[in-house]
Each structure stands twice: as C-alpha cells, then as structure tokens.
Structure 1
C-alpha cells in the first residue's frame, strides 16, 4: 500500500505538463495511461470535474478553452485512493472512479447514488484536408432507462425530454446548440468541442460525435438540481450580467421600418394611444443596398439623419435597438479593410443576391456579401471601430442577426476554409460566441454607463456572460410553432443561458394575408394566434413583437374597445405590472444562478409528471405560466414554412371561412396541470386549488392563464408608459397564503454597471402564514437616487382588504 501511495505521489509530481499547466489544481487531479489513451481527471471544485482523453502518444496539445473561464479552486480537499483495478477520487460532493484497464470514468454522489458512466470513446484520425492529423471524436455515456435529460439547445421538435433524440449539431437560423446536457438526477456535462457534431440518444447510449477534435474534453457538474447545474455551468463559463431595467418593457418591431419617418410615427402613435412601449427596433437595410450590406451607418435615402432619429426616440422616453450582421457587402469600408487582411470567409451567406427587391434571389447578380472572421482579434477590432459610430449616435442595443451565420453552400471545400482558429469545420459552432463576445468586451471598454444589451439569433455555451439573449429565429406563424417555443426556451435555459425570446406572432405570417398584402392582423385566425403568442411572450425575459409579411403594431389589429386590440393592450399592461417581480428575478439570475424560465422539474422533481411537460413552466419562483397554446375560437391554419420558403410571397385569395363568425368575447375553458407539492391560486380569480391534478378554469381571449404558488409574495407596479416612468414608491404587494413566504425586492440605478460595485438595494419581505403577518425588513445597501420612503399596499389573495405600510427603510410588520 505504501508503494501504491508513493506511485500516486510520483504521478502527481508529473501533472504540471504542458497540456495541463493552465489547469493545475495543486494535486486535485490524476493522470494515467489506460487502453491506449492519456487520461486526466481534475477537480475544479467539489462539484465540477474536468475529464480529458487523448490517444496515447498524440502530439496534439491541450488548448485553452474558449468557453471555460473558471480558475480551479483550492479551498477544498480531494481524497484519492489508488487500487489495483481503479483509482477513486472523492470530494465532499462527488466520487469519481477511473477503471485502470479501460480508462472509463464513472461518477457517483458521496451517498452512493450512481450518476453517470462512460461507455466508450473512439478516436478516428483525419487523414486529409485542413484538419489532417486531428481526430473524429466519439464519446458515449450510459443513462438509466427512465432517466430524463435536457438542454443541448433550441431544437424545434416540441419536446422537453431529449431522450431518443438524434440531431446534427450545427448552428442555424432556427436551431442552436450549446453542448450542455443535464439530467433530472442532478448532474450535467459540458462537452467542450466547437466543431460540427452529432448527438444521438438510444437504448444503447447517449453519444456525442465531433467531426474535429484534438481530444475528448468535458466537464462533469453535480449541481443536485437543475438550478444547481446551471450554477455550475455559469461558474465554469461566466455569470449573467444585468440587463437595463428598460429592456423588460415592451418592444415593437417589424421587418422592417423602411424610413426614418415610419419608425418615428410608430413611437409617436404608441405614446398618443397611451399603450406602454420601451423599445423600437430598426431592422436591416437602413444602410441602403445589398452591396453596402451592414455598412453600420444610415446611408439609405430614407434615413437622412440617423442621429436625429435616435434623439427623437429618446425624447419620447423610448430606446432603440438596431440590426447588425456578421457579414459585409463589397462596397462597405469594413469589407475593404477585412479583405485586405484576409479576414473574410469565402462562402455564400445572406443575402445571396445584390437585388433586394426580387425573390427568389437573382444569382446572376451575386451580392458579394462575406462573413468576417470573428475568431480574429484584428477582425473584431475592425468590426467595433465601425460599429462605434452607431454607438456614438446613441444606439441603445444591438440586434445581432445571422450570428449562426447563414452558410448556404455547405460543401466539403467550404468546411475546409481556414480562419484565425483553424478550419471552418473545427470552429463552426463557436462563431456566435466569438462575435457576441467581441461586441460585449469592446462596448464595456468604451463605456460603463450603458449596460450591454444584445439580442442574437444564435448562441453557444457560455454566451450568457456577454450581455446577450437568444431569439429563436425566423419561426413560422403557426400554432405548432408556438407550442414548440416553450420547450425550446426551457431547454436553452438548461444550458446555463437564461435569456430567451421569440418573435411574437411568428416571423412569417403571409399565409394569413387573405385580404391583400399585410392584411394578416385583420384575419381572425391570425388575431387569435397573435394574442395567445403575446400571452406566452409575456413570460419571456424580452417581450417583443416582430415579423414579416404584415405590420404588427397594436393599432393594426383594430382599435380600443375592440376585443383583439383590448386583449393585446391588456397583456402589455400586465407585463408592466410585473416588472418589479421580473427585475427582482433578474437579480436572482445574476447573483444566485437562477432562471426566468423554469421547467417544472426544477421545483417539483418528485412529481414525475413534470419531467416531460412541454406546455407549462415556472416564470421565476412564484408564477406558473400556463399559456393557451391551441386555437379555441378559430381553426388552426396548417402550413409548413422554413427560414427560406417563408420569403416567397404567395398570391392568396380571400377565404370566406368560419373564422369570420367567431365571437372573441365569449368565454372558454382550458385544462391545466398544477404540480404536486404546492397549492395554487388562479391569478385572475384568486381561487385556490390543490396541486397534483388537472384543473379546468374559465378563460377568454383577453385573459392570460397563469397561477401563483401558495406561499408567494408578488409585488405589482402601477401601469406605466415605459419602465422607468414611475419610481416604485407605491407598489401593491399581494400575499398568496398557504405557507410561509419570502421575496427580495431588488433596485438599482436601472442602467450602468455600478451594481457590480455594490450600488443597489434589497428589501426582504417575509410572510408568516400562521400569524398572518408580513414583515418588511430593513433595507440593505444604497445607490444614488434611491427612494428614502414609499408605500406598500398589502393584500392577501382571495380577500379585498388592503393595508398600507409607510416604509422608510427600517423594519415594519403588518398583520392581515
């Protein structure tokens, strides 16, 4: 035994080789050779372990991860026991066992619960092309027969549980991948590879197969819960910075505002109608023709003074986001500089033709647009140097489109193209992280006064750290696609990335234009779909209406006093009522590793029915979102549309169909499941229900179906025209009894990064259910301009009596 310990000590002395020097954990790792492979297992923390495997004798050197930013901790112990058949490593949370003969690794909790086992690993040498000498890496794991798994990315298949999934992992318009899987058993893995890959789960194994790799490299995380796995992933790859307060209001957009005047008229009309609005988005072609694609300046004739337009938006107390791309037209300044330095990829991307007014694209007039090499620091600097012009004009946020990027002629030769980090094939999926990270870092260096807010069409693991949120691409305007957004957003969240949103109403609605171009908002079939999509969008971190084929502003759907208009306005107003809850939840996302969109097993894993529930979720800790996802007043319009076919303008005839006779004011019912383990209050009626069963509740077109968990405290703001119009000096506090409750109200300056230096306040509210007493504890922290005094109007759900608390920052209680 002494000899074995001596051998282990000798092995540890050799661990700081070049391959692992960056990850030296001061003895909390082991390195062996087994089954013709060099294997290293390293504890980064008691619940995070890195495993690398390389073919024995390979000259490939381990590279610094482009995703993992974590420095291994040193404030914990690992007990290592070396036997003749295996090596056992144990922290306070995790037991890792390595088979000396096979080199296979297994993971268990310290209580003996088996978590995950490797099944097989295979390296196939690539013998030709740009990646010659590297490997195709195949890695398989064994799962329990009934084990539910989640994550991977925004697969648009309508399923929550990833068991049985076979998928090519390659970023695209509609689907994005993060290489993160987590289990209902409380473990997760991040598979650190950036190439085009394949995922398959079947009865034999769960397998990743990367087309290019130097080694097998993954991180095992034992978070114990879904929240815990997300925390581990963010610990590995970076936390989530706060978005500005105004980002949580309502955003209006269309494809596209064709002039400066058109955009300003929309903001002006919202203000005159007194419909709340915080953001307006300018989509593409403000730069003119496709040959000047993404010039990052207002050079189109219809945008004569971009800075003046931005100033006008700000004077209306709104903010503006603008479309920017990962590609440039041949007549732009950026293109010339990038081409000179060899920093452009030579494959077809969007737009393919230089003639923007013709579809399908006229390929005899190629656009010449090229994607830039976002992996190059020089290219990223050129990108920002030109983007800063828009930033200096006063643009508030970036809509980074085609960050996948669009890649149309996906030939073998084009996958072979080389950039700053190697072949396109080898870094294909990392592109969105590289380009988003570049903007985040440059803007933060330029100014700390405005928080970075990026909306991007694609994402890779770790992207949560760079001020960005994903939207789900150019989705079709169908009920089926609406239903698919729910599990897509939940699975994206379970990769550690919390910020997800979708085009409210779907991007392509042309099949509803039955009364001429742009008439979809007058088609009852589309009206019902749009309202229900908006009621789902209410629960997304970014609440944004957008799409092609027809404008989506509220007044396109009718006028005040009409059922569709009123339903839309009511949903927008409810969003603003919820902003104190939402912004406080944002702080929990930033400070405590939590999530906005919570699959039901986050909080109710003991209820097996929640494991694959793809149509409900928790919105923060208290609200059960149960959106209506099927047509109730009209018939579902069935059509198939993808990201390219949707651009084909169809000649549609006026359809005299049943939908013209529907009555949107009539009452309907909907059946929803209430998770076991809590009682629930219908938000609209405040009727209390026992959990663990289906309930049928009344609804209408203008009602957002949702429940609040018993044992919750919900702060509600007065309705505002924009998120910062009114200070939170007169909040309604609704207590949902049934058990003790706690809520932390978070406030800061609303923008800038002073909160990172402690400039914020928290007010903890606690409900004692037995005593029916609410205690508002003393305020902690401070920031410039904070409220010194305020009123809290307290009410218990299901009752009408209100008691008002005058609060000056010191603890106060009220008994209801």
Structure 2
C-alpha cells in the first residue's frame, strides 16, 4: 500500500511531539524520508532519497512541512525498481544499499554521502552543503503578464556543495564559449543565450555525475554574483590617485574625453520605455553623445585587493578588446559583433594591499558596443575546488546522483533519467549547405544544382529566416514574389536527392493570424509589445514570443506550422531549424528584463522556468510531427538546449559565433562539454557566423580585381581549417553571413582551400557506414559520438584538459589546426594504446607528445590500436548507393571490435526491431578478423556484400586513401559468420 509522503512526514512529526520513539526514517515504495535532527537556520528539515536504479539515487531536501508535488520537465517517468534494496540505520546514519551503491544520510545534519559496493566513498556533501533560502520573485521580473498566484511567486534559492575530490576533473554544463574543458575549480553562469547553452548536469572522471532538477538561472563554482570592480577592489586612476580608474575616449576625429570610472560595466542596453527601471551595466552610462564607432577607448589604473586570492575575472566584450595586467597581455585581442557580445575569463593571483596595474584596450566597431569587466567574490582555494551549485529559484532542492564505472556509464544513467536519443535520419549525418540567407526559391534550387554539377557531396540545404513577407514574421508563409511555387521548389530539391530544412522561430508579429490566434488563448508574452520593442527588419516591427510552457500553445504552434508548411506541402519539409529558442526576445538586455520579456509562463514565473524553453518548444514539434506523420523521422536543429532534449530528436548548434581563430578554438570545448552533458548531437556554423569587416572588404576587392590580399588569404585558410574540423563532429554544416560559404564562393576550384574542403566532404561520405553505426549506438547503447579523451582514456591524467583533440567514435582521434599559418601541431597520444597516423599508417607508441605534420590540405588524425574502421563507396548523397563493398581497415596491436549498424535510414521502423547489426572482432594473438553473423533484418537490406579487409600494422604502414583503390583481402559475406586470417 502506497502512503503519500506528506502523511508520513505528518506522522513522524506527531510521534515526535508525543515523545514516542520511532525509527529515524520512513520508507514508502522506493522513497526513504529522514527528519533532520539538528538542522541549522538554512539547512533542510527533511531529506528524502528515492532509489531510481542500482546506481541512481535521487536526493530531495526541503525546509517546508512537506515535499512539493511537482511534475519534472526533464525526467521521464521511471519504473519502480525491479530489484531489492535494503534500508537500515545506526547511531549516525540512515543507510540505503542497492548492492551497487550505498547512500548514507547523517541523521543529525541531513548530509548525504555516496559509496561504491566495496565501501569506497565516491562523493560526499560538505558541511553545510545543502542550504535553502526563501525567495520571492521581484516584481520587475514578472512584467506585464502578471497572472502568477501567490504560491508561484515564492520558492527557494538553494546552494549545494560537495567535499573536494582530490585529483578530480569535472565536465559538462552544456555549451559555453570560454574555451574551458575541465571545469574543476572554474566558474560558469548557467543561463540560455545566443551561443550559450546551459545544462544542469556535471560528470566526473571519478565515477559519478550530478543532475539537478532546476530550470532557473544557476551558477556552477562560485555561488556569488560577479562584482563590479569597485565592489571587489580599491581602485586607483592611471596616476595613482585613489577612488576610480581612468577612462579615455578618443573618437575617429581625434576628439578625446577623459573621465573617472568607478567600474567598467557597459554590457546591457534597455529600450527607451524600460529605461525608467534602469540597470547596472547599462550602456547609457557611457559618455553622452560620444560616437563609439571607430573610436579608441582605454580603461587604466590600479586594482588593490582586500585579501590574498586567485581572482576570477569575466570580460564581456564587443568590438576589438585586449586586457593587460602589469603589462602582461592576459586577454589577447578578441572580437565579437556588437549585437551579440561574448565573454571570456582569466585568473589573476593577487596579494592583499598590493596594487596591480590594469589596462583594457577597446576598439568599438559599431554605434552601440559593449565592454565590461567583473570579478567573482574572493573565496578560498579549498572552496573553489569543491563542486558547488547555486540555483536561483526552485520548489525544493532536488538532484540525482548517478554512479558509473566509466563516463559512458554515467551518461547512460543520465539518459535513463531524461530519455533516449533517437537515431538521426541518415541524411542528417551528411553535409549541409546553409547561408544567411537564401532569398528566393531560385537561390535554393540553383545552389543545390551547382553541388550536383560539380559532384560535391551534399544532403541538406537550409532555408534560413525571412522567406516570409517583411511584415509577416510568424505567418510561416512564403512570400509569393520570391517563392512563387514552394511545392515545386521542394519537389526540385528532392528530385536532386536533397533534403530541405526550414527556419521557424517562436516569434510572431502582432498583425499575423498566428499571433492573434495564440494571443486569444493567452499564449503570447506581452512585455515587448508594452515596451514597443522593434526588431531589425525594415523599419523595425513590434514582436513577441509564444508561451511554449502551455500544452495548448505547443499544440497550436505545431498546428500552425503543419497547416502552413508541413502537410500543406505534402510533408516535403524534412527538418526544422528552431532559431532563437533561448528564447531570445531581445539581445543585450539585463537578466531581470529578459525574464520580464519571457513571461510569466503557464507553469509559473519565468524566474523559476528560465532555462527550459527550448525543451518544451522541441516537444511541440517532435510530438506534433510524429502525430501527423508517424513514420518519418523528425529532426530539429535548435539554437538552445536543455537536459532531456535528446529525446525529441533534437540537435543544437552553437549559435551566431564570430569568425575568428579564437572562436574556432572555443567551439571545440563548447562541443565537447555539450556532449559530456549527455546531449549527443551538436554542430556549429563552420567558418563562423559573423564576419569582421576586413574579410568583407577583402572579398569585395577580390570580386572587383581578382586579387587575393593578406586578409582574403587568411579568410580562405580559416574556412579550410574550420571545414576540416567540421568533418569530425556529429553535424557537418557550413553557415554564415557574407562572404558566401559555398565552397566555390570561398575559393576557385584550383585553389588549395577548395580542394581541401571538397576532400573532407568526400571523406565524410566514405565514412558513412562508420558514422551511421555511431548514430545507431547513440540510441541503442546511449553512446556519445564526439568524445573528450577522458571518456576513453580515463586514468591518463594528461588527457583531462586536452581541449583540441577528441575521439570521433572509437576509431578516429581528430586533431584540428586552429592557428593561422600553422603547418604542424603538437598531438598527445594517450598512454593506454599505440597509435597510427590515419593518412600515412605510421605507428607511434602511446604516452608521448609528438609534433604532427599539418599541411593546409590535411589535419592530423590518429587511430588507436585495435580499431576497425569501415569505409563505404564514394557518394554524392547519403543513400545514393548501398555499401556493397566495404573497405574495412584493421589497425593491429591489440584486440578490438566494432558493430556495423544499418536500417531503413528515414523512418521509425527501427523502433519495431527492423534493423540489422554485424559484429566484427579482431583477435590480436591469432591475427584473425571475425565478421560475425548478422542479426536482424529490414526492408532493402543487402543480403550479400564484400569486405575488402586492409591490415595496418607497425610493419605494414598502410594509410587511408580515398582517391585510389587499396588492395586488401576480399571477403564475401552473406550474413553468416566468417573468420579471416591476416
């Protein structure tokens, strides 16, 4: 018999008041509830553990009289455990034992500790490690949509802190742009923004992960808010006078303004009607009337620290920015476009009472631009090294401990909780051509036709925004003058064996029928309308976003898409590009105003539900399309992401990144940590999105004169290197603003850049049997395709912060080049394996750093011993021909295995068991390859094929060659087991 937990708590309280003895816990189903004997003023009064699996324990804590009744957005329904577990207590602890993990709750404090089956401690909450503080949503965050109940306005801010695990490395948290991988000892703010994706999950190399069920703004690391400089330091101007820094503003005409600056906080911009609320960090505090575009601005002086500390700074920038500390350049030149600034971080050890010289050198390149430098509150190094999470608002403190012997096993636990990823349609793993933007149906068709004419492989072409009439954003309708026959356009794309993706935003103009229909049901946000916010199209139009947290709104949103785009064109649209799904109602606003613009929501305050919009928006499209057309695989590309989004067949791209070498490098760690956060499908705008003026001018000069000047030469190399990088991530897509990104627009056919980009495109398609097998493993085995080295080589401490190498599946270690004019790079070869250079076949011992050749046309790629690498035929689209002959490279040196996965490519029959696998194993001692018996069947399956088996060994240095046939041992295969002696 199941008894609701609130009655159990009430019974415990009654027994206590009567002075009767009782156990220190109650057990109901898979819940164990403990009353904390001696809670501190902010400690929980009740702690509840829920056994989810043998290695998954949920921990909840509250200071209220009962735990809240709530429905999680990220956790899928979990079955009751099908195994037995024990609960016991001693004088100190209540202990839960699942046979795989032990969780102990200290009865006096409520602190929880976790152990493995052998009694070794994995993780422990620190003293005072769970704290809850009452929270009330500020009125200015509620905005004009103030339908919140009194209960919805109140919640808890909580702090969760664990004792330090020495030698630990921490990963995940989503996609961030600070070029950081191992997050141990670092800080990260968790909120959604263009180029920034926050996921409440962190995984350790020490055998566990923590997923917290909170949708609000959070902080990882330092729980304190970043401070303006004047609140953290004593300031001195450039002449040493105490009180302020010195700001010097010189405009493009040489006019100079010098003034005192008590902080450098020019990072947000409020619309005119919202200025009355003002905001810390508003650019309106810059010198009145000063023209930023083309100006040179410096901020200089001295910082005096109050205490010895390693200070963690956060630089927010647009335009060209550099930072110097005591004459040393701590931030080399960074650039970002003014409408989408970026942030980077640096640390400076400082001693109390000693002055440190600061210089910020800033070249704004727009009429509005941004520059801010803040610092985290000082805290001890011991505290900084602890895993600490702060959540602004939730109903209670709620997290899941997931144990695992490997990072993969922890991620398996994460997807057990949040839902399995789908198998992507095969074409989604091929090359995508995109542009900001194709403006007519003719642009779309002619571009795809040019790929086919040049025999350059491509699967997907993308229609970005503004295919509608200028004043009809949200209509989901093609403007007839530019797209006279959308059905004919779609048919043409499909006749050329292409796929078509279209951009749909959750944004609407008030004059559209769709806005009015949603608004009539109360499903539109109104703050931007009330404040007369206008966008950047034409004269500027007022607009707002729909409330995706309302189930009815999600159904209506999909129906509007279906009526105007999907069923209307006979299901000819193959995929959806869900842009601005943070939601990004307006750029460059303070966080409190972003909350006002985005709610309140149907579920509660935006403060509480701040980060989960893209999840519920993805739900709308995924479930909507599956209901309308159940057997066509859904595919969504979204500019944001959240825990659990993988279950909606969703991939994320890294937003409107800049086109700089440092931005390219930042995408490597962004993608790795996104995948380590449990979300398996990620990509980026190859080549970067927003372009510096120097590259634009270089392209214009070339178009007039045919001259490749220094900037154009760099541009072409940057595009080449970025496309080489893109070949080895889950989604292989180019996109950006002008200059155009089709390969023939980057460089002429005879140019090395053109040849290199096309070569990697061809390689991607030759690798399709391998890559599609990885996609199958993502679904069936909770695999991760883009793998930080810690996933496969944990135990080698040299891999824990390798930011620019990763495994792409089990057989390829990609080592891109992200420095201009570099023709070699250092590569670390993890110690657990020997390694082969993919292109030469040369063998190297593991555990060493080598200098690898990296000519412009190629990047280093290495293969670990024991790898099996299947290559299919040359193709121009993903399903052009079956892989009747597979070149199977066997890299000797140790035992290895690989499972080839195949299905029907575009439907959901795999969910019904309609797929096939072929296991392949290499026995090093016997030097035999076993191609196992095929399991399963599906429509169109090849019953007979050939494997051209190519042995690579230290004494037989055979490199991969996609341009010429490589002779191996030809093996006929009919589905039965075959053993090949090599």
TM-score, normalised on structure 1? 0.90
Counterpart CA distance in 1 for 2:591 and 2:457 is 48
**Structure 1 partner of 2:725:** 536
> Contact 2:686–2:722 at 8 Å: present in 1 too?
yes
**Structure 1 partner of 2:278:** none
Q: Aligned-pair distance for 1:352? A: 5.4
Q: Aligned-pair distance for 1:26? A: 5.7
Counterpart CA distance in 2 for 1:179 and 1:781 is 38
Residue 757 of structure 1 pairs with residue 923 of structure 2: no
> Contact 1:758–1:781 at 8 Å: present in 2 too?
yes
Q: Aligned-pair distance for 1:387? A: 0.8
Superposition map of 1:12-31 within 5 A: 15=5, 27-31=29-33
Residue 557 of structure 1 pairs with residue 742 of structure 2: no
**Structure 2 partner of 1:165:** 186
> Contact 1:717–1:730 at 8 Å: present in 2 too?
yes
**Structure 2 partner of 1:379:** 553
> Contact 2:740–2:746 at 8 Å: present in 1 too?
no
Partner of residue 701 from structure 1, selected from 841, 847, 856:
856
Q: Aligned-pair distance for 1:395? A: 0.4
User: In structure 2, do the counterparts of structure 1 residues 88 and 387 end up closer, same or farther at CA, with 3 Å as the change threshold?
Assistant: same
**Structure 1 partner of 2:659:** 477
Residue 301 of structure 1 pairs with residue 481 of structure 2: yes
Counterpart CA distance in 1 for 2:501 and 2:8 is 45
**Structure 2 partner of 1:577:** 766
Counterpart CA distance in 2 for 1:682 and 1:79 is 52
**Structure 2 partner of 1:91:** 98
Of 127-136 and 77-86, more deviation after overlay is shown by 127-136
Superposition map of 1:72-151 within 5 A: 72-119=79-126, 120-127=129-136, 129=139, 131-151=152-172
Q: SS at the partner of 2:561?
A: helix
Counterpart CA distance in 2 for 1:240 and 1:561 is 42
**Structure 1 partner of 2:566:** 391
> Contact 2:30–2:80 at 8 Å: present in 1 too?
no
Counterpart CA distance in 2 for 1:139 and 1:331 is 47
> Contact 1:676–1:693 at 8 Å: present in 2 too?
yes
> Contact 2:474–2:515 at 8 Å: present in 1 too?
no
Cα displacement string for residues 504-526 of structure 1 (whole angstroms, at most 9, x for unaligned residues): 00001243123355969961101
**Structure 2 partner of 1:802:** 968
Partner of residue 436 from structure 2, selected from 255, 264, 276:
255
Kindly name which structure, 1 or 2, has the bigger radius of gyration based on alpha carbons: 2
Q: SS at the partner of 1:695?
A: strand
Of 138-147 and 544-553, more deviation after overlay is shown by 138-147
Counterpart CA distance in 1 for 2:532 and 2:635 is 25
> Contact 1:571–1:704 at 8 Å: present in 2 too?
no
Cα displacement string for residues 431-476 of structure 1 (whole angstroms, at most 9, x for unaligned residues): 0101011111111111123101111000010011110001001110
> Contact 1:140–1:206 at 8 Å: present in 2 too?
yes
**Structure 2 partner of 1:450:** 632
User: In structure 2, do the counterparts of structure 1 residues 803 and 588 end up closer, same or farther at CA, with 3 Å as the change threshold?
Assistant: same
**Structure 2 partner of 1:494:** 676
> Contact 1:78–1:91 at 8 Å: present in 2 too?
yes
Cα displacement string for residues 711-750 of structure 1 (whole angstroms, at most 9, x for unaligned residues): 0111001110101001011111111111122111111111
Of 145-154 and 251-260, more deviation after overlay is shown by 145-154
**Structure 2 partner of 1:44:** 52
Superposition map of 1:190-589 within 5 A: 190-201=211-222, 203-204=382-383, 205-289=386-470, 291-299=471-479, 301-348=481-528, 353=534, 356-357=537-538, 366-388=540-562, 389-392=564-567, 393=569, 394-408=572-586, 409-410=589-590, 412=592, 415=595, 417-511=599-693, 512-515=695-698, 517=700, 523-589=712-778
> Contact 2:946–2:973 at 8 Å: present in 1 too?
yes
Counterpart CA distance in 1 for 2:217 and 2:717 is 39
Q: Aligned-pair distance for 1:327? A: 1.1
Q: Aligned-pair distance for 1:199? A: 2.1
User: In structure 2, do the counterparts of structure 1 residues 223 and 555 end up closer, same or farther at CA, with 3 Å as the change threshold?
Assistant: same
Counterpart CA distance in 2 for 1:39 and 1:740 is 47
**Structure 1 partner of 2:980:** 814
> Contact 1:33–1:56 at 8 Å: present in 2 too?
no
Counterpart CA distance in 2 for 1:553 and 1:477 is 16
Residue 33 of structure 1 pairs with residue 213 of structure 2: no
Counterpart CA distance in 2 for 1:351 and 1:106 is 52
Of 490-499 and 442-451, more deviation after overlay is shown by 442-451
Q: Aligned-pair distance for 1:411? A: 6.4
Of 202-211 and 721-730, more deviation after overlay is shown by 202-211
Counterpart CA distance in 1 for 2:27 and 2:673 is 32
Q: Aligned-pair distance for 1:161? A: 0.7
Cα displacement string for residues 50-98 of structure 1 (whole angstroms, at most 9, x for unaligned residues): 111111426x623121110141442222222212221111112111110
> Contact 1:18–1:61 at 8 Å: present in 2 too?
no
Partner of residue 630 from structure 1, selected from 819, 829, 844:
819
Partner of residue 791 from structure 1, selected from 946, 952, 956:
946
> Contact 2:57–2:400 at 8 Å: present in 1 too?
yes
Q: SS at the partner of 2:221?
A: strand
Counterpart CA distance in 2 for 1:264 and 1:366 is 30
Q: Aligned-pair distance for 1:18? A: 9.5
> Contact 1:19–1:61 at 8 Å: present in 2 too?
no
> Contact 1:288–1:301 at 8 Å: present in 2 too?
no
Cα displacement string for residues 221-265 of structure 1 (whole angstroms, at most 9, x for unaligned residues): 002211011100000010011111111111001100011111111
Q: SS at the partner of 2:607?
A: helix
User: In structure 2, do the counterparts of structure 1 residues 627 and 352 end up closer, same or farther at CA, with 3 Å as the change threshold?
Assistant: farther
> Contact 2:699–2:739 at 8 Å: present in 1 too?
no
**Structure 1 partner of 2:279:** none
Q: SS at the partner of 2:445?
A: helix
Counterpart CA distance in 1 for 2:543 and 2:3 is 53
Q: SS at the partner of 2:876?
A: coil
Q: SS at the partner of 1:427?
A: coil
Q: Aligned-pair distance for 1:502? A: 0.7
Equivalent residues, number:
760
Q: Structure 1: which 5+ runs fail to align?
A: 1-9, 358-364, 634-667
Cα displacement string for residues 646-673 of structure 1 (whole angstroms, at most 9, x for unaligned residues): xxxxxxxxxxxxxxxxxxxxxx332211
Cα displacement string for residues 746-778 of structure 1 (whole angstroms, at most 9, x for unaligned residues): 111111000010001111112222222222112
Q: SS at the partner of 1:424?
A: coil
TM-score, normalised on structure 2? 0.75
> Contact 1:345–1:372 at 8 Å: present in 2 too?
yes
Cα displacement string for residues 405-433 of structure 1 (whole angstroms, at most 9, x for unaligned residues): 11434464663542211111111101010
> Contact 1:173–1:473 at 8 Å: present in 2 too?
yes
Cα displacement string for residues 475-529 of structure 1 (whole angstroms, at most 9, x for unaligned residues): 1011111111111111111111010101000001243123355969961101111
Counterpart CA distance in 2 for 1:629 and 1:480 is 8
Q: Aligned-pair distance for 1:115? A: 1.6
Counterpart CA distance in 2 for 1:709 and 1:62 is 50
Counterpart CA distance in 2 for 1:19 and 1:732 is 64
Counterpart CA distance in 2 for 1:146 and 1:795 is 41
Q: Aligned-pair distance for 1:208? A: 1.9
Partner of residue 66 from structure 1, selected from 73, 76, 95:
73
Counterpart CA distance in 2 for 1:143 and 1:287 is 54
Counterpart CA distance in 2 for 1:199 and 1:776 is 47
Residue 744 of structure 1 pairs with residue 744 of structure 2: no
> Contact 1:19–1:63 at 8 Å: present in 2 too?
no
Counterpart CA distance in 1 for 2:527 and 2:8 is 36
User: In structure 2, do the counterparts of structure 1 residues 801 and 569 end up closer, same or farther at CA, with 3 Å as the change threshold?
Assistant: closer
